[in-house]
Amino acid sequence: MKRIIIKTIIIIFIIITLIITYFFMFYRSNQDVENVKVEGHVFDSNNSLPLNNVKVTIINERYKSDNGHINYDEYLGNDKIELITNDQGYYNTILRKSAYVYVILQKEGYKTYEEKGKYAKKLIVFKTYMNVK
């Protein structure tokens, strides 16, 4: 009888530990990351040369809204940052808070390209090859 009680206590302890670990990992992974650097290079897909003057639209999704509400089940905050690539096809910016980022690239004579989104971390890097229309 004592063995059954001890085994039951151990099993309950393991289950509680797993549940606590799950919720900790869920909460930890569903937070806005602060000071996220987003950078990238844009190239011509035909000759791999850098493309300058590409309009880069960075869409930033956040769990925290502009008025301070937080919901870890959905993105309440949304930022739209527009940049232009330099002569090396490079762009960068810093996002104060972020959970998910995607990028839309546009240039006259090229097909608009949307990068697959990425979950926020301290550095997000994109390398894009654009196709001529």
- Mean pLDDT, the chain, as a whole number? 90
Q: Are 59 and 80 in contact (CB under 8 A)?
A: yes
Q: What is the DSSP letter of 132?
A: B
pLDDT at 26: 60
Task: Report which of residues 17 and 130 the model is more confident about.
Answer: 130
Domain ranges of the chain: 1-30, 32-130
pLDDT of residue 30: 66
User: Which pLDDT score, from 0 to 100, does residue 2 have?
Assistant: 80
**83 Cα distance to chain centroid:** 18
Q: Which residue has the tokens 């330099």?
A: 86
Q: Which two tokens stand for residue 19?
A: 């549940």
* 20-70 pLDDT per residue, tens: 887 766 656 668 889 999 999 999 999 999 999 999 999 999 988 888 787
Looking at residues 98-103, what average pLDDT do you find?
A: 94
For 34, half-sphere exposure in the C-beta direction (CA atoms, 13 angstrom radius) is 0
Domain 32-130 in CATH 2.60.40.10? The answer is: yes
Instruction: Kindly report the pTM of this predicted structure.
Output: 0.74
